[in-house]
C-alpha cells in the first residue's frame, strides 16, 4: 500500500492578470495548480477548473500528459467535481498551458481552502489561494509504502507552522491528527522543509491529507 501526502489547497498558483505565483520551479517556470473540474471542451481543448469561488481555464494539446488515479483517462468520462492537478506554464496573454493533467476522483473537498491561512509580520491574515504567492519552496509530496490496513482513502490533518524572519519553518505544531501517529511524524518532518518569502509570515496554518492507494 502506498501513502502519499497531499496539500490540495496549497498546490495552487494564483493566475490573475499580470500576477504569477512566486512558487516557480527551477525547470522553466512551471507551476502546479489544484482545483475541481467544472467543464472540459474537447473541441477547443480547454479544461475549466474551480478553486474556491474562482474559475480558471487551462489549454491542453496532444502533447499534454493526462493521467488519472482511477486509470481512466477518457475526458468524456471525467465527471464535474473531480479533482485535477495541473502542471502548467504561463503562455501568451498569461494563458495557462497544461503540460500534465492528473485527475483525482473523489478529491478532497475544496472547503479546505478556508483552513489555509498565514499571519503576516504586520498582523494581517492572508487566506486561501493567495497564500501560494508567498511560497518560495514547496517540497515534493511525501510518499511511503507500508502494509498498514486502512478503511478510508483520506485522513485530514491540520498543522501550524512557526515561520522565522528568513522564511524557514522554525517549528511545526500538530493541531488535528491524521489518525496515524507515524504519518503525523512524517508530516511534521516534511513541513519543516517549506520556505516562504522572508519577512512575510510569523505563522502559517496548513491542512493536509494522506491518500492511500494500493500498488
3-class state of residue 5 by DSSP: strand
pLDDT for the residue numbered 40: 95
Over residues 58-113, the pLDDT tens digits come to 999 999 999 887 676 788 888 888 878 888 888 776 678 898 898 876 444 444 44
Over residues 118-132, the pLDDT tens digits come to 899 999 888 765 677
Please state, rounded to an integer, the average pLDDT across all residues of the chain: 73
> What CATH number matches the domain at 109-213, 3.40.190.10, 3.30.420.40, 3.30.2420.10, 3.40.50.1010?
3.30.2420.10
The domain limits of the chain are 6-104, 109-213
Residue 144: burial class (beta carbons within 10 Å; 0-12, 13-18, 19+): middle
The structure's pTM equals: 0.51
3-class state of residue 186 by DSSP: helix
pLDDT for the residue numbered 209: 63
CATH fold for the domain made of 6-104? OB fold (Dihydrolipoamide Acetyltransferase, E2P) (2.40.50)
Amino acid at each position: 500500500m502506498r501513502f502519499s501526502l497531499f496539500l490540495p489547497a496549497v498546490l495552487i498558483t494564483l493566475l490573475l492578470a499580470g500576477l504569477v505565483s512566486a512558487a516557480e520551479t527551477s525547470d522553466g517556470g512551471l507551476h502546479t495548480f489544484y482545483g475541481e473540474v467544472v467543464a472540459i471542451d474537447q473541441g477547443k481543448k480547454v479544461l475549466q477548473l474551480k478553486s474556491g469561488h474562482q474559475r480558471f481555464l487551462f489549454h491542453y494539446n496532444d502533447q499534454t500528459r493526462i493521467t488519472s488515479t482511477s486509470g481512466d483517462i477518457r475526458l468524456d468520462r471525467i465527471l464535474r467535481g473531480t479533482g485535477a492537478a495541473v502542471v502548467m506554464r504561463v503562455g501568451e496573454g498569461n494563458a495557462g498551458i497544461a503540460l500534465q493533467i492528473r485527475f483525482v476522483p473523489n478529491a478532497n473537498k475544496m472547503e479546505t481552502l478556508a483552513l489555509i491561512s498565514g499571519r503576516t509580520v504586520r498582523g494581517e491574515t492572508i487566506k486561501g489561494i493567495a497564500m501560494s504567492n508567498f511560497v518560495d519552496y514547496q517540497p515534493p509530496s511525501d510518499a511511503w509504502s507500508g502494509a498498514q490496513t486502512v478503511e478510508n482513502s483520506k485522513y485530514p490533518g491540520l498543522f501550524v507552522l512557526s515561520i522565522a524572519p528568513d522564511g524557514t519553518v522554525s517549528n511545526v505544531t500538530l493541531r488535528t491528527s491524521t489518525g496515524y501517529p507515524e504519518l503525523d511524524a512524517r508530516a511534521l518532518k516534511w513541513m519543516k522543509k517549506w520556505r516562504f518569502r522572508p519577512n512575510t509570515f510569523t505563522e502559517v496554518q496548513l491542512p493536509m491529507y494522506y491518500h492511500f492507494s494500493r500498488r
